[in-house]
Amino acid sequence: MVPNTMSQTVVLGVIGSDAHVVGITILEQAFSAAGFDVVNLGVQTSQEEFAEAAVAHDAGAVLVSSLYGHAEQDCQGFHEVLEEAGVEAETYIGGNLAVGQDDWEETRATFEALGFDRVFDSETDPEEAIAALRDDLGLTTTDTERATISS
Amino acid sequence: MVPNTMSQTVVLGVIGSDAHVVGITILEQAFSAAGFDVVNLGVQTSQEEFAEAAVAHDAGAVLVSSLYGHAEQDCQGFHEVLEEAGVEAETYIGGNLAVGQDDWEETRATFEALGFDRVFDSETDPEEAIAALRDDLGLTTTDTERATISS
Amino acid sequence: MIRDERIPSDELRRIDEEIRADWPTGADVDFEEAIAYHESLPDNKRFADVLESADKPLLQPRAGVPRLDDQIELLEYLHGEGNADLLPTTIDSYTRDNEYGKAQQGLEKARETGDDTLNGFPAVNHGVEGCRTLIDAIDAPIEVRHGTPDARLLAAITFAGGFQSFEGGPISYNIPYTKRHGLEETIERWQFVDRLAGAYTERGVRINREPFGPLTGTLVPPSIAIAIGIVEGQLAATQGVRSVTLGYGQVGNVVQDVAALNALKDLANEYLPDEVVVTTVFHEWMGGFPPDEARANGVISLGGMTAAIAQPDKVITKSPQEFQGVPTMQANAAGLRTTRQVIDMAIEQDIDIDGIAEEQDLIERETRCLMDTIFTHGDGDVVQGTIKAFDSGALDVPFAPSDSAKGAILPARDDDGRVRIFEWADLEMDDEIKEIHKARLSQRANTEGREQSFRMVADDVDAISDGKLIGRP
Amino acid sequence: MIRDERIPSDELRRIDEEIRADWPTGADVDFEEAIAYHESLPDNKRFADVLESADKPLLQPRAGVPRLDDQIELLEYLHGEGNADLLPTTIDSYTRDNEYGKAQQGLEKARETGDDTLNGFPAVNHGVEGCRTLIDAIDAPIEVRHGTPDARLLAAITFAGGFQSFEGGPISYNIPYTKRHGLEETIERWQFVDRLAGAYTERGVRINREPFGPLTGTLVPPSIAIAIGIVEGQLAATQGVRSVTLGYGQVGNVVQDVAALNALKDLANEYLPDEVVVTTVFHEWMGGFPPDEARANGVISLGGMTAAIAQPDKVITKSPQEFQGVPTMQANAAGLRTTRQVIDMAIEQDIDIDGIAEEQDLIERETRCLMDTIFTHGDGDVVQGTIKAFDSGALDVPFAPSDSAKGAILPARDDDGRVRIFEWADLEMDDEIKEIHKARLSQRANTEGREQSFRMVADDVDAISDGKLIGRP
Ligand code: B12
Ligand code: B12
């Protein structure tokens, strides 16, 4: 196996007490297929578990998923926890981020204010997030593709 | 057969070039069953035909139906035509009175301004119109019921 | 005496000139130039080809507004956001009455005020140019839908304007749509429309013709709709039409609807000449809708489910605002998408319902009775047969507002919700079949513990809008 | 070692006292007084009786908001405008985690700001009084719906609060809902819940218990759902529950869904003791919904159609806003009315689809294999059998987030859209049955000209939200 460069490892999980697993199962598969090394923490992952895994795997990105409508509460102070642990990874959040039929722009602003680099709604196709992450990490398609081929 | 009193004869028809016949078929049956004498002019009835029939049958009420969305144009000047013919009957209009998804209160006002005594929407149950007409003609249920029984 | 015979070319030309003089825009029609225009159209705007080559039901809404730019916007929306495969242009009521002057007034008022003062698109007033602007703007085939007893000028202008499909027929746009036009008159007029479509067809521009299958939309027994559709198909074929789409309006009982669509296809192929390509169209429930969009969505979906099982070539969709009035374009597109979702979820499933073959057999036997009586009434001529059969009541349509039909028969649902005939009046039918209907209806009357009466019919008329299929007391 | 045995009365009392100390509102529970309260309720609020005596499917939505007055308003609306027959009270996620403190914070924030800061109704925080205010206000039976691994305090408070139906179970509220709770632990806790329900039952207050049939809601093979439902029914029966409603989530293939509901009813009656009254509940599609209300209405309607054919005792409806988030009450009521319209239009029809008996037979054989392996794993004890079978992977649930299940099996649709098992992992099953699945899936792979792979599973997961049943490439 090719040694991981930090930038290609992605830590993925569902935050809080949320148990919606199907989305991250699909994301795991899509990011792996795109050549990223994915550490899938599964559902009901705490802020601390995200931080620990990011440190342990020297992650380039932390991908947080939340479907059940408590994302805002669950993410309070999350970026402080990451910072304390010394995590400098890109942070993305996606899924169904508010309770009820809310206004998306407001939701996005809320999560950006909480410190997330990018906020995705639940219509997001995994490919979009992959493209964005390649951009943010300065990777070309071939970087990650090469990883796939050689891994 | 009991002789018709003016107040119990109702002239019914669909105005203009509208051919929606099902509603007046139901109305004819309901008003007859309630003891009124119904003169059903059918669909595509002109203003003049309504006036002639009202005069000929000494009608207590003229019931105009319109479903297809041209009611406003079709009813322009209708009350002048009735007046000229000397018709003093109550005038009701009902059905689907405007094109598109309009505001009902506005529609009602439009048709009241055109001279109709009562305006009904298409959710109207025939029984409502019957009750209203009994009221307007000062009939008791028994008046019309008696008519039914003896006719 | 008018008969089922092809209008000779010179006669075609004579009438054409005559009717084009009815309104100034008629002067702009030039047949040769129109052929050239049609030839310039891309494949995906050739209505007959697109419809005939589809491998699953194509969806088409109803839609028409007075102004040209609004109509373009509306159709673009229904194509883009509604994912319609085929598009309509519904004509306003004044044009249907050949009142082009009133239509012009309405159009001008619409242009001034921005209000939709007409209930459709006045194609005659827009003229050949206007129609072509529409055809050019929309990336899909478009059909003219109307309800016009005398549609000769409308046909001349819209065919020249690039439309390749035209709804209606001498019976289906007479009996449900008008009171005073005689059948002889409408047949003669539609012979011209069909002959004109045939003239285009001869030159390689196959104009698709679609008799209006649902008729009065209200509890029409399948065999009556099918017989009339076949007759109109025959009349069109005689005049040279080669692409015919026969229609049928959902009655709401899935078995009966699937059986009817099967029977329609089989009988049409049997009765119509081989050179005619027959396709079928299923209309989602054409009777009174519930005054509630949520429940209307249920009605629409039952139509989608039926279409997924029967797989007609085309489905005409309804909108959840059907009860209220002409729908917003959003609601119209929503009706399309709801239908599409149901069809696409159900169409690959193997849904074989018991009893369809038996019901189909009954419908076919009934239809043959009606076809036979038409044949007999006309001594072999379908035009005379139709006129005389309607006249005698041997052929009839429930709730027909027209003086040309007795409108004396009354339908009612049986205990399973299938539409049967409760009052036969003079309708021609084998006694054995009448007995079947009678038995089914008395079974229902028993269930309900009441007599069969007009009350039952009225209850059935209201049932779907009241939230059920059968109008139980 | 925990076994399928009835909790003795003194033990029941001990646990009851203990768990009621977890939060101040626990102190208000008084069993005798609660029995008297239940006895004071009118017949139309007795959940089990209303459900068991219905002659057609009753409709129930999902709904829960944090504040009491809002919850009353919501349920009144769903009853009045949505015409729901049975009502729910969905509990918030903090309560499900037994985080009553956080729930209290959320509730207080909701009271201050008017915002819904919790995704459900924190019944423990509202306490016995609060629950009764709700029960008194609403003129229909209400069920507690949640997803709580340890629902003991919730049960104690809501039973005393007047609720007569309680969703969930040790497997169905563990495997799909939580990662770290062991099965042994949740079984022990739910034995208490069932035992408490049994204590009320003994006193004539039959608390209805409803295992959560849809599990992960995502392509769950019917036999797995049925086997787990039956096990939870058995566990409840042992503790004295006498009214059990077994659930099943629509997979979208009508034949398979009808067959599954038939199998569920038949097998439940066979496996559960005679003194238990078994009813069934059908959940409209529980997987990902289309991000479009119009298309969502199509999904909902297909559920209604299926319910009309299978006639379960209860249907849990979805709203057209399912994709987006917790629905507005209008949308929730709309989902109810759309479902009702479809059911009422279709239910009196005679819709007998071919192949249902064969599919039912297959489902029953599969279910028996799973029941047998549970029996064998536990040496006749269903509790031990369940724990060990999950542990070995002989029993498994697709997409299970829980550490207690392997979550190693993978489902995929066959060419007809029925859910089959593509990756069996260690699931116990007759080879003959595995061959049937394999043949069906390779037929699909052939049709699509691709290999069976996780890609196919992922495509199937997205298919309905993308507008189709089968995730074709
Ligand atoms: C299946 C489902 C369930 C299953 C979950 C099974 C399981 N363990 O996974 C069950 C039935 C158990 C369930 C339970 C609950 N659910 Co639920 N559930 C759904 C449902 C129908 C589908 C979710 C799904 O699997 N979608 C398919 C996958 C492929 O899509 P996805 O999850 O959206 O993920 C994709 C994108 O969102 C995106 N994405 C997701 N995360 C991220 C992260 C990043 C960084 C990026 C880039 C992208 C991304 O990419 C993914 C792949 O394409 C949704 C509604 C819907 N969407 O239709 C409701 C929904 C999410 N659930 C909801 C709720 C409220 C609950 C419950 C609280 C309620 C209850 N009544 O029990 C519980 C919570 C339990 C818990 N502790 O978490 C709400 C959330 C409301 C809100 N946010 O406002 C929803 C929206 C339903 C609704 N309208 O009310 N649920
Ligand atoms: C069936 C039907 C048809 C059939 C009619 C057959 C026939 N000859 O009767 C066909 C298919 C032929 C047809 C044609 C058209 N139709 Co149409 N049709 C309907 C439909 C679906 C049901 C009408 C019906 O029969 N209802 C059942 C009866 C029992 O109810 P009702 O008619 O509403 O009558 C009751 C009440 O309204 C009330 N009432 C009616 N009149 C009066 C009068 C008084 C005084 C009182 C007190 C009460 C009252 O009591 C009646 C009995 O309960 C409605 C939509 C709907 N409602 O669901 C559209 C609808 C009326 N039609 C419409 C249109 C536009 C047309 C066409 C112009 C369009 C076209 N594309 O061809 C043509 C017009 C043809 C013409 N020249 O008139 C529009 C009208 C739009 C508007 N007003 O804004 C509607 C609303 C559909 C829509 N949403 O677009 N239609």
Reading chain C (473 residues) residue by residue, the pLDDT tens digits are 899 999 999 999 999 999 999 999 999 999 999 999 999 999 999 999 999 999 999 999 999 999 999 999 999 999 999 999 999 999 998 999 999 999 999 999 999 998 878 889 999 999 999 999 999 999 999 999 999 999 999 999 999 999 999 999 999 999 999 999 999 999 999 999 999 999 999 999 999 999 999 999 999 999 999 999 999 999 999 999 999 999 999 999 999 999 999 999 999 999 999 999 999 999 999 999 999 999 999 999 999 999 999 999 999 999 999 998 889 999 999 999 999 999 999 999 999 999 999 999 999 999 999 999 999 999 999 999 999 999 999 999 999 999 999 999 999 999 999 999 999 999 999 999 999 999 999 999 999 999 988 999 999 999 999 999 999 99
Residues in contact with D287: Cβ distance below 8 Å, sequence separation at least 6, in sequence order: A22, D217, D218, D219, D461, D464, D465
* Residue B101 confidence (pLDDT): 62
Determine contact, residues C448/C473, Cβ cutoff 8 Å. yes
d(CA D323, CA B84): 62
**Rg from Cα positions in chain B:** 14
pLDDT, tens digit, 9 for 90 and up, residues B9-27: 999 999 998 999 999 999 9
* C-beta atoms of C416 and D349 within 8 A: yes
Dihedral sign computed on CA atoms, order A119, A122, A127, A128: negative
Identity (one letter) of the amino acid at C160?
A
Q: What is the pLDDT of residue D409?
A: 97
Distance from C-alpha of A49 to C-alpha of A16, rounded to nearest angstrom: 11
Q: What is the ipTM of this complex?
A: 0.95
pLDDT score at D118: 87
Residues of chain D short of pLDDT 70, as ranges, are none
Closest Cα to atom 10 of ligand 2: C216
From B133's Cα to the closest Cα of chain C, the distance in A is 21
B18 is catalytic: yes
Among A24, A67, A97, A99, most D C-beta atoms within 10 A, so best to mutate, is A99
At D313 the pLDDT is 98
Has this prediction a pTM greater than 0.80? yes
**Residues C447, C473 contacting (CB under 8 angstroms):** no
Cβ atoms D185, D362 nearer than 8 A: no
Output DSSP code: residue C27.
G
Alpha helices by DSSP H, listed for D41-145, are 47-52, 68-80, 93-96, 100-113, 123-137
Each residue of C250-292: pLDDT tens digit? 999 999 999 999 999 999 999 999 999 999 999 999 999 999 9
H runs (alpha helix) in C286-392: 293-310, 329-346, 356-377, 382-392
Catalytic: which of D20, D152, D167, D209? D167
Residue B33 half-sphere exposure toward CB, CA atoms < 13 A: 12
Check residue A150 and give its pLDDT. Answer: 35
Q: Quick one: fold of A9-150? A: Rossmann fold (3.40.50)
Average pLDDT, chain C: 97
Name the catalytic one among C46, C143, C152, C167: C167
Active site includes B58? no
Alpha-carbon gap: C87 to the closest alpha carbon of chain B (Å)? 19
- Quick check: A9 and A37 in contact, CB under 8 A? yes
The contacts of residue D266 (CB under 8 Å, 6+ apart) are: D360, D364
How far is residue C139's CA from residue C358's CA, in Å, rounded to a whole number?
Answer: 42
Element (H, E) at D419: strand D419-423
Residue whose structure tokens are 């199907």:
A22
Residues in chain D closer than 8 A to C353 (CB atoms): 351-354
Q: How far apart are CA C124 and CA C143, in angstroms?
A: 15
**H/E run at residue C158:** helix C152-160
CA distance A19 to A26: 14
CB neighbours of D252 closer than 8 A, spacing ≥ 6? C345, D285, D299, D302, D417, D464, D469
Res B4: pLDDT: 41
How close is the Cα of B78 to the center of ligand 2, in Å?
21
End-to-end CA distance of chain D: 50
Ligand 1: residue whose CA is nearest its atom 91: A20
- Tell me how far CA of residue C153 lies from CA of C156, C162, C191, in angstroms: 5, 14, 13
**Taking a contact as any Cβ pair under 8 Å apart, which residues of chain D between 218 and 247 contact chain C?**
none
Contact C81, C87 (CB under 8 A): no
**Cα(C457)–Cα(C419) distance, integer angstroms:** 10
Kindly give the distance from the C-alpha atom of residue C346 to the centroid of ligand 1, in angstroms, as a whole number.
Answer: 25
Secondary structure in 3-state letters for C35-55: HHHHHHCCHHHCHHHHHHHCC
**pLDDT of res. B141:** 67
What's the angle, vertex CA A76, arms to CA A73 and CA A79, rounded to 5?
145
Across B48-57, B90-99, B130-139, the highest mean pLDDT is recorded for B48-57
DSSP code, position C7: P
Q: What confidence score (pLDDT) does residue B73 get?
A: 87
Mean pLDDT, range A62-73, rounded to an integer: 93
Task: Please list, residue by residue across D217-250, b when 16 or more beta carbons sit within 10 angstroms of its beta carbon and e when fewer do.
Answer: bbbbbbbbbbbbbbbbbbbbbbbbbbbbbbbbbb
Pocket flag, ligand 2, residue B92 (CB < 6 Å): yes
**How far does residue B67's CA lie from ligand 2's centre (Å)?**
5
Pocket of ligand 1 (CB under 6 A): A 17-23, 26-27, 63-65, 67-69, 92-96, 98-100, 120, 122, 124, 126, 129; D 62, 90, 93, 119, 147, 176-177, 214, 216-218, 286-289, 322-323, 325-327, 399, 401, 461
Out of A16, A73, A98, name the one closest to residue D325 (CB).
Answer: A98
Q: Give the model's pLDDT for residue C325.
A: 86
Yes or no: say if C297 and C338 are a contact pair by the CB < 8 Å rule: yes
CA dihedral in degrees (C107, C110, C112, C115; nearest 10)?
170
Nearest CA to CA, how far is D335 from chain C (Å)?
Answer: 7
Instruction: State how far residue D310 is from chain C, nearest Cα, in angstroms.
Output: 14
CA distance D47 to D164: 6
Per the listing, tokens 């495969």 go with C85
pLDDT tens by residue, A128-142: 999 999 999 988 766
Interval A97-126 mean pLDDT: 88
Q: Which residue of D has its CA nearest to C308?
A: D302
| CB of B100 less than 8 A from some CB of C | yes
- DSSP 3-state assignment of C138? coil
Per residue in C347-403, pLDDT (tens digit) is 999 999 999 999 999 999 999 999 999 999 999 999 999 999 999 999 999 999 999
What SS3 state is found at C291?
Answer: coil
**D248 with D281: CB under 8 angstroms?**
yes
Is pLDDT of B148 > 80? no
CA dihedral D169, D171, D176, D180 (to 10 degrees): 110
Using the predicted structure, report yes or no on whether residue B3 has a pLDDT greater than 90.
Answer: no
- Counting from 1 in the atom list of ligand 1, the atom nearest the Cα of D326 is 90
Q: Do chains B and D touch (3 or more CB pairs under 8 A)?
A: no
Q: How many residues does this entry show for chain D?
A: 473
Quote the pLDDT of residue B70: 85
Dihedrals phi, psi of B90, to nearest 5 degrees? -65, 140
